Structure 1
Amino acid sequence: MKKLLAGLLVLAAFGWLLWEIYDRTSAPTGGPRRGGAGPVAVEVVPIRKAVIRDVRRLTGSVLARSQFQVAPKIAGRLEKLMVDIGDEVHNRQLIAQLDSDEYVQQVAQAEAELEMAKANVVQASSNLELARKKLARYRALYEKKVASQSEIEVVEAEYKVQEAAHKVAEARVLQNKAALEAAKVQEAYTKISASWENGEGRRVVGERFVDEGAMLKANEPIVSIIDIASVTAVIYVIERDYGKIRIGQEARVTTDALPGESFRSRVVRVAPLLKEASRQARVELEIPNPKGSLKPGMFVRVEIEFIRLEDVTVVPAGSVVKRNDTDGVFIVDTENMKVRFVPVKLGLEEEDMVQVLEPNLSGSVVTMGQHLLEDGRSIKLPGTESEDASPRQDAQQTPPAGRGGSSGGRQ
């Protein structure tokens, strides 16, 4: 039964193929043929002048113009945190306070030691003055032959001892002053500020890493500060487009997070090398962001215009076909309802339109059904089929002379 069914299917397919061949070769000369030499139904559009661009649409990510982490220079317990995520901060603003009791005590101790050192200098100065007077008196006695040489030497040695002690006392004052300044610096480090160079404007707290009460090590991050008054879009271009990128080139940026909005940007940095693995180069664009709408980490689409041509001849890209390995379009001869294949030299292509460099075209081109056409083929346009069919139907319904009441058409 299965073999019989398969045989019937093969015979049916073979019969359909024979019917197609017969229908294509034996249809009346003046009538339409299914895929034969009869008119082919097509759609056309006018050739027009328009603007066309060489555009690349790339994707990338947003980075803050600058970003840094604020961390203490000394270890300690975080006593108070004055800012949180999203807060605006200005340059040198106090944002955190460490427990400072220990450092305050160190400052007080350093101050006391400095005062003691100053008192030692006063005492050393007094001792030095006494030694100087004693030395002067013994020298006078020595000149009068009252004091001996050995006595003079002893007094001079005492003077040098007091002079050295005075210098040591003065040095200790300087040392204690430095220790006091160091203690004050350590105490100042308990007050943590956000500071940056060229500190105009405000910045924003991007992240918070710790909470109040946490024990911090030196250089352990507390918060991150970002500048989003303008942001940077990072994209990667392939080797083919790398040579077209220029510093200062303008681009349009959009993001799904802000539908309906676009942002102007310009190329500010182009990497001098391509990554060997991907053959792509990093390109950075600066985007003014006065409202702070764009946030770091956002996915963006970047449209860069390399070339813009005004008033050029364009046709739909789908209208271009190949005949004998030559690009061309079918131009409509509306008087004879035929088409003419015209080889073309193409230029830029943007979306569904392509530029025609040569020749200078006018009229209309076929945009649907062109793959069934050859040069000189008859066509029919939408809306004309019913008009063409009416006379044929009338002819079929009117019996020819001498045939009686028999109907026309194939029996």
Structure 2
Amino acid sequence: MSQKSRRVVLPIVLIIIAGLGWVIYQAIQPAPAPPGGPRQPGSQQVAVQTASVTQATVRDMRTFSGTLIPWAQFVVAPKISGRLERLFVDVGDLVQRDQLVAQLEDAEFVQQVEQARAELAVARANLEEARSELDIAEKEFARIETLREQRVASLAELELSKSRLLAQQARKRVAEAQIEQRQAALRAAEVRLSYTQIRATWPANGEDRPRVVGERFVDQGTTLTANAQMISVLDISALRAVFHVSERDYARLQVGQSAQVSVDAFPGQQFEGRVARIAPVFREASRQARIELELFNPEGLMKPGMFVRAQLELDRAEEAVVVPSVALVRRDGQHALFAVEDDATVRLTVVRVGISENGVSQILEPEDLSGEVVILGQHLLEDGSSVRVVED
């Protein structure tokens, strides 16, 4: 055979061999299962792992992030201007209610008090003089009045004596008023002097817990104006955790609801809290509402400004039908799972999922779901596939 003939025959032989191989392959393959029905006996089994449908309590837990703020906070400031002579506390110091925290230079105010006291003493002396002269005027009027009855004194003398009496009575009233005026001036001077002693004051509210200095804004020797910030005082025996929620979660929150709070500074440690306030309005920009948690902080571990994560239970289902979350697949935009039948085949079942927690998911529909479901190997399955359950 010539070389040209070999080039023609060789491709033809190869084509014939390939065709025979395809025919043999088709002959040994099992018949496919009809659409929508189970595979025929003898079809290839898919190795899968399964888990049982069970009943359990599941909770819808949500975690929100926020910031800690002090339970109460205020800034200590002087009511008058002056030079800061002494500052008795610093950042981190405990402060009792009405404790003296700063002293302003007070020489000028001490002088004003002394002057007011001197003026009050003069006013009191004037009152004593007015009383003495009034006593003389009363006796003189009584004498003239007696002489008038005896027709010894004239009517003019009686009227002159009476006018002197009235004048002395008026002078006494003026002296008494001046004493009240000087007493008020003394009290005002003493109040201004007391303003040089700056105290940390807050309402008692039935408690007398110490507070702590959070920030210091001035140094000794600084000349301050009235209402200039000196220090901030915080109550951190309790704190507020502030975060914001969307409309979806807002309706499921209520005042008094418990929460578990954690901070990065103490990993693994949980702090108890409760919902204290729920804002009645949403922020227009974010469409979120402000939520405040109340946290007791007796040991002072948590500090204002810390980042917090608050976990709240928004819903709970008792004795719910649950499956491992890994059993769920998506088919045509819906949740589904493969339920294992008694004949070692699987049935693709569309389900409605409820609460998911810790790797399990609640199945709301169908309500009668039971048995075993596939948790590994779903990507190889179709409705009606034959399966072989293997252990982990």
TM-score range normalised by the length of the shorter chain: 0.7 to 0.9
* 1:83 is the counterpart of 2:83: no
Say if 1:205 and 1:224, in contact at 8 Å, map to a contact too. yes
Aligned pair partner of 1:181 in 169, 187, 201: 187
Separation in 2, partners of 1:27, 1:156: 149
Say if 1:31 and 1:38, in contact at 8 Å, map to a contact too. no
Say if 1:72 and 1:189, in contact at 8 Å, map to a contact too. yes
* 1:212 is the counterpart of 2:220: yes
Amino acid at match of 1:164: A
* 1:58 is the counterpart of 2:64: yes
Amino acid at match of 1:235: F
Amino acid at match of 2:124: K
Question: Which stretch shifts more, 308-317 or 169-178?
Answer: 308-317
Q: Judging changes above 3 Å, is the alpha-carbon distance between structure 1 residues 155 and 45 closer, same or farther for their aligned structure 2 residues? A: same
* 1:343 is the counterpart of 2:358: no
- CA deviations 1:188-213 (Å, max 9, x no partner) are 11111112112511111111111111
2:119 is aligned to 113
Amino acid at match of 1:238: S
Separation in 2, partners of 1:274, 1:353: 33
Amino acid at match of 1:375: D
Counterparts of residues 320-339 of structure 1 (less than 5 Å): 320-323=328-331, 327-333=335-341, 336-339=343-346
2:382 is aligned to 374
Q: Judging changes above 3 Å, is the alpha-carbon distance between structure 1 residues 193 and 123 closer, same or farther for their aligned structure 2 residues? A: same
- Mark the runs of 5 or more structure 1 residues left unpaired by the alignment: 1-21, 385-411
1:267 is aligned to 275
Higher relative contact order (Cα pairs below 8 Å, separated by 6+ residues): 2
- CA deviations 1:358-410 (Å, max 9, x no partner) are 343344322343244211112355689xxxxxxxxxxxxxxxxxxxxxxxxxx
Instruction: Kindly state the Cα deviation for residue 168 of structure 1 after the two structures are TM-superposed.
Output: 1.1
Q: Classify the secondary structure of the residue corresponding to 2:292.
A: strand
Instruction: Kindly state the Cα deviation for residue 280 of structure 1 after the two structures are TM-superposed.
Output: 1.2
Q: Judging changes above 3 Å, is the alpha-carbon distance between structure 1 residues 28 and 326 closer, same or farther for their aligned structure 2 residues? A: farther
Question: Which stretch shifts more, 310-319 or 54-63?
Answer: 310-319
Aligned pair partner of 2:363 in 338, 352, 356: 356
Q: Judging changes above 3 Å, is the alpha-carbon distance between structure 1 residues 281 and 250 closer, same or farther for their aligned structure 2 residues? A: same
Q: Classify the secondary structure of the residue corresponding to 2:193.
A: helix
Instruction: Kindly state the Cα deviation for residue 119 of structure 1 after the two structures are TM-superposed.
Output: 0.8
Q: Judging changes above 3 Å, is the alpha-carbon distance between structure 1 residues 75 and 324 closer, same or farther for their aligned structure 2 residues? A: closer
Instruction: Kindly state the Cα deviation for residue 125 of structure 1 after the two structures are TM-superposed.
Output: 0.9
1:125 is aligned to 131
Question: Which stretch shifts more, 211-220 or 319-328?
Answer: 319-328
1:286 is aligned to 294
1:407 is aligned to none
Separation in 1, partners of 2:308, 2:324: 29
Alignment length (residue pairs): 358
Instruction: Kindly state the Cα deviation for residue 224 of structure 1 after the two structures are TM-superposed.
Output: 0.9
Question: Which stretch shifts more, 48-57 or 262-271?
Answer: 48-57
* 1:238 is the counterpart of 2:238: no
Amino acid at match of 1:159: L
Instruction: Kindly state the Cα deviation for residue 136 of structure 1 after the two structures are TM-superposed.
Output: 1.5
Counterparts of residues 27-106 of structure 1 (less than 5 Å): 28-29=28-29, 38-106=44-112
Q: Classify the secondary structure of the residue corresponding to 2:281.
A: coil
Instruction: Kindly state the Cα deviation for residue 181 of structure 1 after the two structures are TM-superposed.
Output: 1.2
Separation in 2, partners of 1:57, 1:99: 53
Aligned pair partner of 2:211 in 186, 203, 209: 203
Q: Judging changes above 3 Å, is the alpha-carbon distance between structure 1 residues 326 and 112 closer, same or farther for their aligned structure 2 residues? A: closer
Say if 2:82 and 2:223, in contact at 8 Å, map to a contact too. yes
Say if 1:344 and 1:359, in contact at 8 Å, map to a contact too. no
- CA deviations 1:292-317 (Å, max 9, x no partner) are 11111111111110222344332233
Instruction: Kindly state the Cα deviation for residue 50 of structure 1 after the two structures are TM-superposed.
Output: 3.2
TM-score scaled to structure 2, two decimals?
0.84
Instruction: Kindly state the Cα deviation for residue 349 of structure 1 after the two structures are TM-superposed.
Output: 2.1
Counterparts of residues 19-30 of structure 1 (less than 5 Å): 26=26, 28-29=28-29
Instruction: Kindly state the Cα deviation for residue 337 of structure 1 after the two structures are TM-superposed.
Output: 4.2
- Mark the runs of 5 or more structure 2 residues left unpaired by the alignment: 1-21, 33-38
Separation in 2, partners of 1:123, 1:31: 134
Amino acid at match of 1:112: A
Instruction: Kindly state the Cα deviation for residue 248 of structure 1 after the two structures are TM-superposed.
Output: 0.7
2:6 is aligned to none
2:323 is aligned to 315
Aligned pair partner of 2:174 in 168, 172, 187: 168
Q: Classify the secondary structure of the residue corresponding to 2:86.
A: strand
Separation in 2, partners of 1:339, 1:29: 21
Say if 2:321 and 2:367, in contact at 8 Å, map to a contact too. no
Q: Give the % identical residues.
A: 46
User: What RMSD, in angstroms, separates the aligned Cα atoms of the two structures?
Assistant: 2.6
Q: Classify the secondary structure of the residue corresponding to 1:313.
A: strand
1:140 is aligned to 146
Separation in 1, partners of 2:314, 2:26: 56
Say if 2:67 and 2:306, in contact at 8 Å, map to a contact too. yes
Amino acid at match of 1:184: E
Separation in 2, partners of 1:326, 1:295: 46
